[in-house]
């Protein structure tokens, strides 16, 4: 059960809902152009630029699905055991060359080509042998334990569609078709930098009031999962001329620009104003916590995401808005679905109605089912609680305080890649 609701936040008419922001981003995106042929092994993580067509039937021949005996169903008695003479053996890769005649059987191994004349495979566990004969119990039927030619893929069928992102299973499937190279879309080019006079790069001493830059390392980590071409532009100070040059340079060489910091309403927050000067701003506030200030727009044809400055807000906005935009740009179709699961919350969560909130949490299984527990302090600068989490608790806009024992929706980190 929920605790007494907290007072609702005043609605912000300038802020988009999470769902409207996602639609506004994705509806205007078309995949990048350009492709190349790559060896199958180097295609991991890439996106197919055309269908992969099966050049032959898979499997190529009727074959045995089990170890056992290939027989003619017409020889088998319906209500009694049948004795058949064993006339040979068929192994995977070494077929039986003869024809099974009346009253005969051939010992077969899984994957072996089905001997000519056979239309039934009887598993060895239910048979017994005496001298050169096999004894088959009643109850067998024609077609059992046989994999037909083309059962997995018929010659000329689409084995993998254009837009499919290649994982280990896809590499194996392509290799099983004897295909050495595949056409994939070119790599997405992503430029990213942090902004702020308070941000210092690793290796330099901290001046009073400075902090080390973690956001670029977060963005490097999440982008590396996508196999993008990365342009790390470092830390840009809060100087309009320097920021403008960085944005112009990035737009000239990248498909997407990701910045962190400089998108709120402070005197030194220049990203939104520069985006308005250099291109178009679609929106810059979302009804979300953490991550409310997030600019989205274009400089020419280059997409720009102005992410918040706090590291957890960077991760939340990346996962909720940027990731699927990048996948769509890469040509991934359809986009992956990330279902919300239900679990019992074991802790108390304070929340005011009005925003959709993403709470860092740890999901685990107990005797009573799935439980989820917030991982400590939820401040948007507290990365430790993000590191200890394996999911978000997703609290809708209408939700108020959550009491222990309440059912909540959970979004797993697994799949965010």
Nearest in space to 309 (alpha carbons), one of 357, 275, 270? 270
Assess if residue 283 is contained within a domain: yes
Q: How confident is the model at residue 266 (pLDDT cuts 50, 70, 90)?
A: low
Say if residues 3 and 403 touch (Cβ distance below 8 Å).
yes
The phi, psi pair for 194, rounded to 5°, reads: -100, 155
Overall number of domains in the chain: 4
Q: How far is residue 260's CA from residue 381's CA, in Å, rounded to a whole number?
A: 13
The phi, psi pair for 393, rounded to 5°, reads: -85, 125
Claim to verify: residue 232 and residue 291 sit in the same structural domain: yes
Taking only the tens place, the pLDDT of each residue in 96-111 is 999 999 999 999 999 9
Q: Is 21 helix (H, G, I), strand (E, B) or coil?
A: helix
Q: What angle do CA 105, 108, 113 make, to 5 degrees?
A: 105
Claim to verify: residue 41 and residue 72 sit in the same structural domain: no
User: What pLDDT score was predicted for residue 2?
Assistant: 36
Q: How confident is the model at residue 10 (pLDDT cuts 50, 70, 90)?
A: very low
Nearest in space to 118 (alpha carbons), one of 160, 92, 162, 86? 86
Consecutive H or E run containing 370: strand 369-374
User: What pLDDT score was predicted for residue 6?
Assistant: 36
Say if residues 306 and 259 touch (Cβ distance below 8 Å).
yes
User: What pLDDT score was predicted for residue 170?
Assistant: 97
Report percent pLDDT > 90 for the chain: 82
Claim to verify: residue 181 and residue 43 sit in the same structural domain: yes
User: What pLDDT score was predicted for residue 96?
Assistant: 98
Claim to verify: residue 140 and residue 181 sit in the same structural domain: no
CB atoms near residue 116 (< 10 Å): 14
Claim to verify: residue 244 and residue 200 sit in the same structural domain: yes
Q: Is 416 helix (H, G, I), strand (E, B) or coil?
A: coil
Q: How confident is the model at residue 379 (pLDDT cuts 50, 70, 90)?
A: confident
Say if residues 4 and 272 touch (Cβ distance below 8 Å).
no
User: What pLDDT score was predicted for residue 281?
Assistant: 86
Taking only the tens place, the pLDDT of each residue in 273-328 is 888 899 998 888 899 999 888 889 999 999 999 999 999 999 999 999 999 999 99
Assess if residue 12 is contained within a domain: no
Q: How confident is the model at residue 57 (pLDDT cuts 50, 70, 90)?
A: very high
Claim to verify: residue 47 and residue 176 sit in the same structural domain: yes
User: What pLDDT score was predicted for residue 380?
Assistant: 84
Claim to verify: residue 351 and residue 235 sit in the same structural domain: no
Claim to verify: residue 116 and residue 247 sit in the same structural domain: no
Assess if residue 152 is contained within a domain: no
| CATH code (residue 140) | 2.170.190.11
Taking only the tens place, the pLDDT of each residue in 157-180 is 999 999 999 999 999 999 999 999
CB atoms near residue 365 (< 10 Å): 9
CA distances from 274 to 36, 238, 246, 263, 304 (A): 35, 12, 11, 10, 11
Q: How far is residue 279's CA from residue 253's CA, in Å, rounded to a whole number?
A: 16
**Cβ-proximal residues to 135 (8 Å cutoff; 6+ apart), any chain:** 81, 82, 83, 127, 128, 129
Question: Average pLDDT over the chain, rounded to whole?
Answer: 92
DSSP character string of 295-363: EEEEETTEEEEEE-SSHHHHHHHIIIIIHHHHHHHHT-SSPPP-PPEEEEE-S-B---TTSEEEEEEEE
Claim to verify: residue 45 and residue 75 sit in the same structural domain: no
pLDDT at 232 over 70: yes
| CATH code (residue 292) | 3.40.980.10
Q: How far is residue 98's CA from residue 119's CA, in Å, rounded to a whole number?
A: 15
Taking phi over 0 as left and psi of -120 to 50 as alpha, with beta for the rest, 322 belongs to alpha
Domain boundary among 297, 330, 363: 330
Assess if residue 143 is contained within a domain: yes
Stronger pLDDT, 268 or 144, i.e. the higher one: 144
Claim to verify: residue 29 and residue 51 sit in the same structural domain: no
Domain boundary among 330, 353, 381: 330
Assess if residue 374 is contained within a domain: yes
Taking only the tens place, the pLDDT of each residue in 206-221 is 999 899 999 999 999 9
Burial 271-288, CB ≥16 within 10 A → b, else e: bbebbeebbebbbbbbbb
Q: How far is residue 157's CA from residue 159's CA, in Å, rounded to a whole number?
A: 6
Claim to verify: residue 245 and residue 324 sit in the same structural domain: yes
Q: How far is residue 315's CA from residue 307's CA, in Å, rounded to a whole number?
A: 9
DSSP character string of 245-265: HHHHHHHHH-SEEEEES--SS
Q: How confident is the model at residue 261 (pLDDT cuts 50, 70, 90)?
A: confident
Task: Count how many Cα atoms sit within 13 Å of the Cα of residue 45 in the half-sphere of its side chain.
Answer: 11
Claim to verify: residue 167 and residue 255 sit in the same structural domain: no
Assess if residue 155 is contained within a domain: no
The phi, psi pair for 263, rounded to 5°, reads: -115, 5
pTM: 0.87
Q: How far is residue 40's CA from residue 182's CA, in Å, rounded to a whole number?
A: 6
Say if residues 142 and 134 touch (Cβ distance below 8 Å).
no
Consecutive H or E run containing 223: helix 215-224
3-state helix vs strand vs coil in the chain, percent to 5: 20, 35, 45
Q: How far is residue 92's CA from residue 106's CA, in Å, rounded to a whole number?
A: 13
Assess if residue 68 is contained within a domain: yes
CB atoms near residue 193 (< 10 Å): 25
Q: How confident is the model at residue 271 (pLDDT cuts 50, 70, 90)?
A: confident
**Preceding omega of 90 cis (within 30 degrees of 0):** no
Q: 80 lies in which domain range? A: 63-147
| CATH code (residue 398) | 2.40.340.10
| CATH code (residue 173) | 3.90.105.10
pLDDT at 268 over 70: no
Assess if residue 2 is contained within a domain: no
């Amino acid at each position: 059960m929920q605790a007494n609701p907290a007072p609702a936040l005043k609605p912000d008419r300038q802020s988009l809902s999470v769902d409207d922001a996602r639609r506004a981003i994705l509806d205007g995106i078309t995949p990048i152009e350009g492709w190349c042929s790559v060896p199958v092994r180097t295609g991991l993580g890439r996106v197919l630029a055309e269908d992969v067509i099966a050049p032959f039937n898979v499997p190529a021949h009727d074959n045995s699905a089990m170890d056992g005996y290939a027989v003619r169903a017409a020889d088998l008695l319906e209500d009694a055991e049948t004795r058949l003479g064993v006339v040979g053996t068929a192994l995977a890769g070494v077929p039986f060359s003869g024809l099974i005649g009346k009253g005969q059987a051939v010992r077969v191994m899984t994957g072996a080509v089905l001997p000519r004349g056979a239309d039934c495979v009887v598993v060895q566990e239910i048979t017994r042998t005496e001298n050169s004969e096999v004894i088959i119990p009643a109850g067998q039927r024609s077609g059992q334990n046989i994999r037909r030619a083309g059962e997995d893929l018929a010659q000329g069928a689409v084995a993998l569609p254009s837009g499919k992102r290649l994982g280990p299973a896809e590499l194996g499937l392509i290799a099983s078709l004897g295909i050495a190279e595949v056409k994939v879309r070119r790599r997405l080019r992503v430029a990213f930098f942090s902004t702020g006079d308070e941000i210092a790069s690793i290796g330099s001493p901290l001046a009073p009031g400075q902090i080390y830059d973690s956001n670029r390392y977060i963005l490097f980590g999440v982008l590396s999962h996508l196999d993008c071409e990365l342009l790390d532009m470092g830390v840009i100070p809060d100087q309009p001329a320097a920021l403008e040059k960085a944005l112009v340079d990035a737009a000239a060489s990248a498909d997407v620009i990701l910045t962190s910091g400089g998108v709120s309403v402070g005197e030194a927050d220049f990203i939104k104003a520069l985006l308005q000067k250099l291109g178009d701003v679609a929106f810059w506030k979302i009804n979300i916590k953490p991550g409310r200030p997030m600019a989205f727009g274009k400089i020419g044809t280059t997409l720009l995401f102005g992410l918040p400055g706090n590291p957890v807000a960077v991760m939340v906005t990346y996962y909720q808005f940027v990731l699927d935009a990048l996948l769509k740009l890469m040509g991934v179709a359809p986009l992956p679905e990330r279902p919300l699961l239900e679990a019992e919350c074991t802790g108390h969560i304070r929340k005011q109605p009005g925003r959709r909130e993403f709470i860092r949490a740890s999901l685990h299984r107990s005797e009573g089912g799935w439980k989820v527990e917030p991982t400590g302090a939820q401040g948007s600068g507290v990365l430790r609680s993000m590191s200890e989490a394996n999911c978000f608790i997703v609290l809708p806009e209408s939700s108020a305080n959550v009491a222990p024992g309440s059912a909540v929706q959970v979004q797993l980190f697994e799949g965010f890649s």
